[in-house]
Structure 1
Amino acid sequence: SCRSGWRGKAPAVGRSRLSGVRSTVGSMLQIHTEHSMERLAGAFIEVVRTPLPDPFEVEWVGIPSPGLRDWLEIQCSTSLGAAPGATDGIAANIHFGFVGELRRALLSQGGNDWHQNDPWHPDRLVWAVAETLAAAPARSSRGAHPAALEIVPAMQEGQTSLFGAATRFSKLLARYVTDRPAMLCRWAVGDFCDAQGAPLRPDARWQAELFLAVRERLGIASPAELLDSALNEGRLNEQACGLPQRLSLFGFTTLVGANSLLAQLDALALSREVHLFMWEPSSGLAQWGRSSGTERGAHMRTTERQSFGVKREVLDESPVLPLLRSWGRPALEAAQLLSIVAPQDAVSLRVPDIEDLSGASLLKILQASVNRAMVAPAPSIPRASADGSVVIHECHGQIRQVEVVRDQILSILEEDSSLEESDIAVLCPDLTTYAPLIEAVFGPSASSGTLSYAQTIHGSTTVWGNANSKDSPPQLAYQIAHRHLENLNPLGGALVSLLTLLDGRCAAAQVSDFLSLAPVRKRFGLSDDDLARLSEWVQECSINWGLSAQHRSHWLGVDTYSPGSWAGAVQRLLAGIALCSSPDQLGFGGIAPIDVEGSDIALAGRFAEILELLELAAQQSSAPMGIDRWVPLVRSLLGTFFDIPVDQQWQMSSLLGMLASIERDSRGGSPDASSSVLGESVTPTCQATLALIELRTFLGAQLSGTSSGGRLFRGGITVSSLAALRGVPFQVIFLLGCDEEALRAGSGEADDLIVSSPMIGDRDRRSDLRQSLLEAVMSAREQLVVTRTGWNRVNNHPVPMPAALAELADTCAGLLGGADPAQLNGSLLQTHPCNSFDPANFRTPRQSFDPVALNGAMVAAGQRSEAPPVLSRPLAPELDLRTVELVDLIRTLQSPPQAFLSKRLGLHIGPTTAESAEDEIPISLDSLGKWSLGDRLLQTRLRGAAADDLEAIEAASGRLPPGSFGSAAVAAESELVTSLLDCARSQGIDWGLSEALVIECALDPTTTLFGSVTVIPSPGRWGPVQVGVGKLKGKRILQAWVDLLALTATQAPRAERCVAILIGKSASSSKAQPVERRLIELRESSDPRGLARGALVELVALYRWAHCDVVPIFSETSYSLSPLGKGDSEAQKAWLSTGPGFAYGDRLDPATMLAFGDLEFEELMELETRDEDFAQFGISPGTAIGSPTRATFYSRLLWGIFDRSCVLTDDLEALAKKPAKKAAKKSASQRSSGSAYG
């Protein structure tokens, strides 16, 4: 029985003094309609101003969104109990809830709380469906219910898993409960019909069969059946004894499941006061809808319109504004439903107000046109003018849109000092994408300790900048509401990353990214230096993917291949702690150790711990299991891999609460196994198993839910999704991100019977999205600002306007006189420059408030000039260059820019891009990999080690492709190495006779050259020998030449001839001649030592100058420009060569790019010589060596010294037979045919 305070009927309200309200005659169900949300709130306040019989009874108010709840609560608090003309009211004992709470309250009776124990709640229903499908295969297909694979067609075709099918069907059932309760009632008695009451198609019968199976497993009828039974038996009021005596539903534009909902409200209204406050964005459209609905309802059977509803009709020919035909379907159908289904005396027939629109803004005229559903021009709708009240901004990309929104807000606040940030709302169709961009562009919200921009400019004549910072845009106060839980809780995102990692191959990049997450770093104490060292180990260990060989077996099919896995890397690091690495042999157990010393030992231990825990977690989560085992495992993973600061422990509490809720839902909603609902037992736990990918998807969906993030309207700009603030009025509304991707509704669920058989009032994504846009347009009071991507940021091509936005633009253009929207650029449409620092943003009227962008614009608008050189003039000579190391001399001559920047300026020149780890096991080696392998093979052979041992070492290190692919690579490079060594032996070179000779040579009284040169004697010759797997290019030739000069200048000859021999890979890549041989010998001279000393003196002079100025000598390009090379065509290739997947050349050297910029070859050849270049070496510009271009000048200068001192030939046998004098003549003839040195 009800309490005494609830007995009796409340007095009839009668017709309100607000024109939009009309009362019922026999029932207390009253429907209020208004075009203005403020007036609708006034009608609601007038109702609740009348106290309930019991002063302690709660006022229950149903709302469609949390944003409208907060707004209505503020309206009540400023009116209820306030003194006349004041806003000092108070609102208390008002409960705001959603319509679903009303249904669950009606189902609760006898002490059973459907709010907590509703087995048909979507979060709990999914487990019942999953368990039903899991148990179905155990039954005979001829039994009461077919097997699971025969029930769900998508499972037969392999399109979804068992839990995926359960998730999809549970969502369908949840929609059917609210939108098609009559269909479920007929299914329950074996009458299989579709969403319009017609016989169900054979291919859709599985839904009815699965519904019956789930119903049987739950042991309780669906809410649709229970409510229908209570309505038919007149027991609904008895079941509603827990509800207060007055119920209100406020701010709805559409009614979900209108037939059932209105029937429930009508039944409740027999014993209590029930109010439905409907907001009609277009009163004219609603009036037309009510008229058409009344006409249709008069010819329909009552049972039809109260069960399944009314079939949807086409609106294309309706006599309304074209914009409303696309944007107003839900509102129109709501009006039709009210006139068809609801009692006729309960609906107010509101006539739109006729207000004077002369001098009104475009926004006001647009809203009036929508409200009256009239097509302009009309007698009551004048022509509008483009006054900036409605503007569509076209930008280049998403970030630029956010920047424009920020600048437009600042401009609006500057122009109207009466506005505050709280009067502005930014609504995003895709808030998930734009929320982080807003935080990045807007910066931190103005807190209580700082002044926001609006507070700064009020009462001040200075509006530029911000009191808080002069180096950033003015600070705004804002709040982002209703974000995804994953964005609000970083620990949730880290958990999803961990589950994604365990469900995948654990690629090098994925694990590295996971280790860089803040909760993981805190848990394992990883600093920035630690992460950098781990990145180096990833490269050194050649890690690609896979925790271990066992972990890889799922993809490879074998569990024996460990190189390149994380476990293989850990073994190598731990072995390197105890053993010294050797290039010629493996450690114990066939492991190739990596040296680990000092503080890296502790880091290696933590690294091993992390990977061991990952391996254990991957093993524990590899097999499908029930949710009762998954939840404890996920809890364990949270404690194992994550740690957060004390002040952020709410993140862990939130996740643990979510897991507890999931565990409770899997038991049917009860915290214990013995729970029951309405006297029926509920399955204590779900026996269905989930794979890791299904759990990850499920938890990701849970974390993708939205949270209000606290109460709104606490000051500052409100940033929210479209749905969260539907109908809430603001002075200025921004629609951010109105792009095709965000406004594309997409298709509905293919198995949804409602989609295939729609009725009036049914929800669909396209109509709901456009209805929310309409509500946003009608909620703006002063300005409506829309932004979209109008230009592709990559190619600057125009982007077509989305269809929904084009409809708005066309409507506004019609109000402006029927012009094409494209002709209204600058008024209705505004195009913004691609970049925020474009000078156009700072012309009158100013479009930007960013001081940093202003500085960029000032630079961009100034006189353009070429980038200044690294040096405006050469530096003074270094004081201490009396001793010159031979190795330093060679390195400087090979790359003077590198030497100058590092030696003289002290700059560390690293690689242009960090080498990234490979995520695939290679089956072949690239060019660099082949060279590295060949070089290691060559060095191994020169040390006398076996090639087989090297192959084992290479395989153990992960540098080789697996199996036969690696063996083939080793065989190919071994063949080249063998050819190189055979060539060396054919010249009588014996590596066992090599000797390192000390070089110490006084070139002049102030300069001493010292170092060492390794020589190998051969029959009749001795000198340095170079054998390498690379081609014989300028870099190697220069090194052998300088070694030969140093050797000749300091050592007494030990054989008839002193020569340098170079052996390398053939440039022609001919199989018949795989290697190439070259020899460098001093020119014939009566004083060879003097000739060598003279050449070294010239080289040291060039060496010293390279420490004073940036000298344009490049190892390969300069060699190609010399007569020893092949001319400009070859030099151009040496400067830069590109192709599919590769790019190399002197131009890409980091030091070259820093010293000279990113020059094209033509630009390099246009660098003019300077007076200092000639004066430093005493050369006249008129001589042959005095080239007008610096690159050619220094090429001739360096390699001219070579030509005057040595001879280069590629025919060792011929040279051995002829004297050096003839070779010198041949070289001279080459000089005369090429560019002379002078």
Structure 2
Amino acid sequence: MTLFVHRGTSADALASGLAELLAKPLADPFAEEVVAVPAKGVERWLAQRMSHRLGASVGQDGVSRSDGVCAGVRFLNPHSLVALILGIEQGDPWHPEQLAWAVLRAVDDSLDEPFAHTLALHLGHGMTGVEGELRRGRRYAVARRLAGLFADYAAQRPAMLADWRSGGSGDGLGGAVDDDLAWQPELWRRVLGLVDAEAPEERQARVVAELRTGRLSGLELPGRLSLFGHTRIARSEIEVLTALGEHRDVHLWLPQASPAAWSTLTEVAAGGPVPRADDDSGLLINHPLLASLGRDARELQRTLALADAVDQPLEPDESRPPTMLHLLQQDLAGDRAPTVAERDARSVPAADRSIQVHACHGQSRQVEVLRDVIADLLEQDPTLEPRDILVMCPDVEAYSPLIHAAFGLGGVVRDTAVRDAGTDGSHPAHTFRVRIADRAPLHTNPLLSLADQLVLLASSRLTGSEVLDLARSAPVRRRFGLDDEALERLTDWVSSVAIRWGLDAEHREAFRIRGLSQNTWQAGLDRILVGAAVDGDEIDHVGTTLALDDLDSGDIELAGRLAELVARLAGTLERMRDASTAEDWVGVLRDGVLGLADVPVKDAWQTAQLERELARVGAAAAAVGGAGLGLADVHALLVGRGAARATRSSFRTGTLTVCTMVPMRSVPHRVVCLVGLDHGVFPRASTPDGDDVLARRPVTGERDTRSEDRQLLLDALMSAGQTVVITYSGFDEHTGATREPSVPLGELIDAVRRTATGPGVDRLVTEHPLQPFDARNLGVAGDRVELLPEGRPFSYDPAALSAATRALGDRVQREHPVDVRLSPAPMEDVDLGELIRFFDDPAKAFLRSRLGMVLPEIDEIQHEGIPIELDGLRTWQIGERVLQSVLAGRDLEATCNAELWRGDLPPRELGYRTLHDIATEVQALAALTWRVAGVGGP
């Protein structure tokens, strides 16, 4: 049995080779084929691609009808394949999510010991005050990060962990770990003592030995298996696959941009992995773009030298038309850097838009440009369909709402051609169906988001706006029956009863304010409920609670729903204060979310996912005896559990797919769009983790995020069959200042300009105006700069065309539909309030008094602090209320008490003094008013 390495420049060729292999049946007709893939997107594409060959019928012309089915094939990812071989159950204690709890327990138990002094200082052990509290809030986040580091050590440098287990402190390369990291070996030994399982490096060494001798029992794998589409395989996984190849055929199907570069590096790579600082293999590469972007592929070749593999390269496809994209791909495949003469001999016409780079003003403008580019591609090529187009971006969460707004308004795809769309005034892209494939559950499941929101509320002041934001979330609205009108009503009530922050006086004690219930939710709710219970014409207060006089009989139920919402929230937050272990937190979060939220039947999966994630947390923590958790720890835990996870069903559904750059990196598409390749965003910042032993002296084959992102760009270029579209922020959206492209994108632009000449290359980078309705986008400017060949307008937006046409047209003075001259206003008394309103906003006062127009009030931002002093307007408002009440015959003392209970005055002595000054002035004004009017006061 053998380990085979199949190399090809395209995934299509590799898939064809795999299909030929799988078409030959196994000896056992009931055995499943096993194929490991790097991502769910590759799995979906490969399954569809296999169905074109496996079981497909053949027509009379000898051509397959592509009517087969991909059955009897078990797809795994490399980790799950290795886990299957190693006999790891689903709850692997050495997986970072599980291991974090053991690390947390070990850290907590070691903080008083000398070796953990660095950790203790970082986590605020023994510190008091705010800084100590903030540092202690890092506990779970630090434990999870360390668990990830330990898992990386096990996968990429297992010899180091073996040395640590035996009492050493080596770095796996013959040296010792640096002094500032000397606490890690001892911490790892403490973790080993808490986990009742074989150490990961020990387990792997045992399984590899048993695989080589054929003594591993219980391994249910067929006589052959394949790994497809990988550009990086960890050293530990190579060891397992090599041992597996002793008694089975193992096939590696690897996309490689350049067979020529592989051949060039064969002798150098035979030396195996070396320290990255000593690796000079990039100097042997001729094409500068291949040298810059292809380090991951070169390092994989070094790692594979550890295995005694049979190399079986596939023949590259040379039958492509000489477009700008294909010329670049051929140069990369052949590792050729064109000479000046070769470049000048290649002339690319203006119509060749196979590589497009668009410099835009910010993220929103990039998406607008993208939809026009896609609409134009569909218009110009009737054979192109949305499923042939892939959109990838480094930060899918940032672009998700922009893409939904630009593409997702139609919901269905029209049957008519793109050029017939948009006749209703909308952009044709509004009819495209779009699927965003790998968003984080924290953003797609509102119940998980609500759980995190509750944790954040537990450490907040519970301001009026924070609780109203909770009420506005869709699951909470559904639970309490809150429509838009009800939410608007609640917002008015919160402002009217002066709810600022704090649940009640007891809740405020955590913020060092004692015995003050004014402006809390409890005080405000009391006012609302009293207002709902009493007749405001007869009773305006109960005890010291002033009734809200803005309620009618129809508001009683809404007031009750608000009280129930706040009561359930208060109960959840009270339980959170008592929660300490993971088990406590799981129960509190489950009960809190399900008590505050409800989802429709079609979204029942959201509840199941919430309970599943919480159950996993509880089980993992219980496995090591539990650990204490604070609010910051739980927040970090929920954010980690809610990270992006791709699902198989999100890809290749016939829609236009949007995803990050990992899941579909090498999957062929006719059009590949890369959005957001901005400087500082791509490649990802790779500031080394100061606690990472591997980062101190990295070895080839060990993961590096910047190299990985560069390889992703190279894979995307090689997977495009027809067009590559790239957008980036070339200008500041506020100042218009020029921004440089990211370094890899700049290298790509330079490489294209060294590949060929001609009008097509001259138009490689398109600089777009700030606004979509700029005349240059729409072909309506007489001196326009053409953005597309042959003078075609760039934009397909009818609304933008209308705006551009109107802006360029003559300004026409329209006749007024009515006589604008108003008759003189009648002479009448003007009160002080009306005079103040006029000087405050003359235009609004004119519209109200002369035209009878009532403009909607625009809510100002409510000040959410406890009032300490009043400005002139607030003082006048309180004084005006007191004066009008006294003039109406009400007792001054009762009126002042009502103002104290209202919540607008500063608390305690500050409020008493302010009210005393107001009352004194009111008495004088009232006496003067009665004397002028010739009547006696009460």
TM-score by length of structure 2 reads: 0.88
Identify the residue that residue 1124 of structure 1 maps to in structure 2: none
Q: How far apart are 1:277 and its partner, in Å? A: 1.4
The answer on 1:415 being equivalent to 2:380 is yes
Matched, 1:917 2:871: no
CA distance in 2, matches of 1:127, 1:870: 74
TM alignment of 1:789-804, pairs within 5 A: 789-804=729-744
Counterpart in the other structure of 1:712? 651
* Structure 1 counterpart of 2:766: 830
The structural deviation recorded for 1:274 is 1.0
Name the SS of the counterpart of 1:799 in structure 2. Answer: coil
The match for 1:270 is: 246
Spell out the pairing of 1:668-747 with structure 2 (5 A cutoff).
Answer: 668=623, 683=624, 686-708=625-647, 710-746=649-685, 747=687
CA contact (8 A) 2:158 2:201 kept: yes
Question: Identity across aligned pairs (percent)?
Answer: 31
Q: Which residue, 693, 705, 719 being the options, matches 1:765?
A: 705
1:537: Cα distance to partner?
A: 1.2
Per the TM alignment, residue 539 of structure 1 is displaced from its structure 2 partner at its CA by 1.3
Mapped contact 1:65–1:726 kept (Cα < 8 A): no
Amino acid at match of 1:719: V
Deviations 1:590-641, CA, capped at 9 Å, x for gaps = 3333223321222222212211221111111124411112112222112210
User: 1:106 Cα deviation (Å)?
Assistant: 2.1
C-alpha separation in 1, matches of 2:577 and 2:836: 59
Alignment of 1:402-801 (within 5 A): 402-444=367-409, 447=412, 451-452=413-414, 455-457=415-417, 463-466=419-422, 469-474=424-429, 475-555=431-511, 557-578=512-533, 587-595=541-549, 596-668=551-623, 683=624, 686-708=625-647, 710-746=649-685, 747-801=687-741
C-alpha displacement of 1:365: 1.4
Which residue number in structure 1 is paired with residue 783 of structure 2?
none
CA distance in 2, matches of 1:310, 1:825: 36
User: Is 1:171 the counterpart of 2:148 in the alignment?
Assistant: yes
- Of 595-604 and 567-576, more deviation after overlay is shown by 595-604
Alpha-carbon distance, 1:540 to partner: 1.1
For residues 812 and 648 of structure 2, the distance between their equivalents in structure 1, rounded to whole angstroms, comes to: 51
Higher mean alpha-carbon deviation, 232-241 vs 68-77, is at: 232-241
Alignment of 1:31-46 (within 5 A): 31-46=5-20
Aligned to 2:906: 961
Could you report, residue by residue, the CA deviation over 1:355-390 in whole angstroms, capped at 9, with x for unpaired residues?
588x71111111122222332227877535252111
- In the superposition, relative to structure 1, how do residues 837 and 253 fare at CA in structure 2: closer, same or farther (>3 Å)? same
CA distance in 1, matches of 2:20, 2:519: 74
Secondary structure of 1:786's match? strand
Rate the CA distance shift 1:196–1:924 in 2: closer, same or farther, 3 A.
farther
Corresponding residue of 2:222: 244
Counterpart position of 1:89: 68
Distance 1:502 1:392 in 2: 47
- Distance in 2 between residues matched to 1:869 and 1:961, nearest whole Å: 55
Q: Secondary structure at the match of 2:859?
A: coil
User: Contact between 1:623 and 1:692, CA under 8 Å: does it hold in 2?
Assistant: no
State the secondary structure of the residue aligned to 1:622. helix
Q: Please give the alpha-carbon distance, in whole angstroms, between the structure 2 residues aligned to 1:151 and 1:560.
A: 37
SS at match of 2:649: coil
Structure 2 residue identity aligned to 1:253? T
- 1:25-70 per-position Cα deviation (integer Å, ceiling 9, x unaligned): xx51111111222111222222222211111111111111111111
1:401 to 353, 366, 381: 366
2:416 is paired with a residue whose SS is helix
Q: Which string of whole-angstrom CA distances, capped at 9 and with x for unpartnered residues, describes residues 414-441 of structure 1?
A: 1111212211111111111112211111
Q: 2:339 aligns with which of 377, 390, 397?
A: 377
Shift of 1:287: 2.9
Judging changes above 3 Å, is the alpha-carbon distance between structure 1 residues 619 and 859 closer, same or farther for their aligned structure 2 residues?
same
How far the C-alpha of 1:944 sits from its partner, in A, is 9.0
1:898-937 to structure 2, matched below 5 A, reads 901-902=847-848, 907-911=853-857, 913-936=858-881
Deviations 1:1094-1116 (A, max 9, x none): xxxxxxxxxxxxxxxxxxxxxxx
Distance 1:442 1:803 in 2: 29
The aligned residue for residue 192 of structure 1 is 169
Secondary structure, aligned partner of 2:100: helix
Report the alpha carbon displacement of residue 129 of structure 1 after superposing the two structures with TM: 1.9
- Equivalent residue number for residue 129 of structure 1: 103
2:683 and 2:710 in contact (8 A); partners too:
no
**Which residue of the partner structure matches residue 321 of structure 1?**
287
What amino acid sits opposite 2:668 in the alignment? P
Aligned residues: 903
1:135-284 map, 5 Å: 135-136=109-110, 141=113, 153-154=122-123, 159=135, 161-232=138-209, 234=212, 238-239=216-217, 241-255=219-233, 257-258=234-235, 260-284=236-260
Match of 2:746 in 1: 806
Output the CA distance in 1 between the equivalents of 2:662 and 2:387. 19
State the shift of 1:910 in Å: 2.6
Distance 1:824 1:964 in 2: 78
1:102 and 2:81 correspond: yes
Unaligned runs of 5+ in 1: 1-26, 109-113, 298-304, 669-682, 996-1014, 1019-1238
Matching residue of 2:311: 347
CA offsets per residue over residues 1177-1196 of structure 1, 9 Å max, x none?
xxxxxxxxxxxxxxxxxxxx
Cα distance between partner residues in 1 of 2:811 and 2:558: 51
TM-aligned CA distance change 1:803 to 1:315, over 3 Å: farther
Distance 2:912 2:199 in 1: 67
Pairing 1:1061-1210 to 2, within 5 Å after superposition: none
Q: Deviations over 1:1033-1080 (max 9, x none)?
A: xxxxxxxxxxxxxxxxxxxxxxxxxxxxxxxxxxxxxxxxxxxxxxxx
Distance of aligned partners of 1:788 and 1:934 in 2 relative to their CA distance in 1, 3 Å threshold: same
Cα contact 1:181–1:224 (8 A) shared by 2 = yes
Counterparts in 2 of 1:897 and 1:484: CA distance versus 1, 3 Å:
closer
* One of 804, 819, 824 as aligned partner of 1:873: 819
Aligned residue number for residue 1012 of structure 1 = none
Equivalent position SS for 1:781: strand
Shift of 1:735: 0.7
Aligned 8 A contact 2:375 2:796 in 1: yes
Change (3 A) 1:741 1:934: farther
Per-residue deviation at 1:766?
0.9
Asked if structure 1 preserves the Cα contact closer than 8 Å seen for 2:177 and 2:693, the reply is no
- 8 Å CA contact 1:792–1:799 kept in 2: the answer is yes
- How many angstroms does 1:864 deviate by? 3.0
Asked if structure 2 preserves the Cα contact closer than 8 Å seen for 1:770 and 1:804, the reply is: yes
Change (3 A) 1:184 1:894: closer
What does 1:927-1006 correspond to in 2, within 5 Å?
927-936=872-881, 953-963=898-908, 965-966=910-911, 969-970=914-915, 974=918, 990-993=928-931, 995=933
* Aligned-residue RMSD, C-alpha: 3.5
CA distance in 2, matches of 1:275, 1:886: 95
The residue number in structure 1 matching 2:786 is none
Q: CA deviation at 1:246?
A: 1.0
Q: Is the 8 A contact 2:354 2:724 kept in 1?
A: yes
Whether the 8 Å contact between 1:289 and 1:333 is mirrored in structure 2 is: no
Question: Aligned-pair distance for 1:587?
Answer: 4.2
1:73 to 17, 23, 47: 47
Contact map agreement 1:728 1:779 (CA 8 A) in 2: yes
How far off is 1:552 after superposition?
1.6
Displacement of 1:409 after TM fit?
A: 0.9
Which of 798, 821, 832 does residue 851 from structure 1 map onto? 798
- Aligned AA (1:441): A
Whole-angstrom distance in 1 between the partners of 2:72 and 2:120: 49
Answer yes or no: is the 8 Å Cα contact 1:465–1:851 preserved in 2. Answer: no
**Distance of aligned partners of 1:920 and 1:811 in 2 relative to their CA distance in 1, 3 Å threshold:** farther
**Between 362-371 and 592-601, the greater mean CA deviation after superposition:** 592-601
Q: Structure 1 956/800 Cα, relative in aligned 2: closer, same or farther at 3 Å?
A: farther
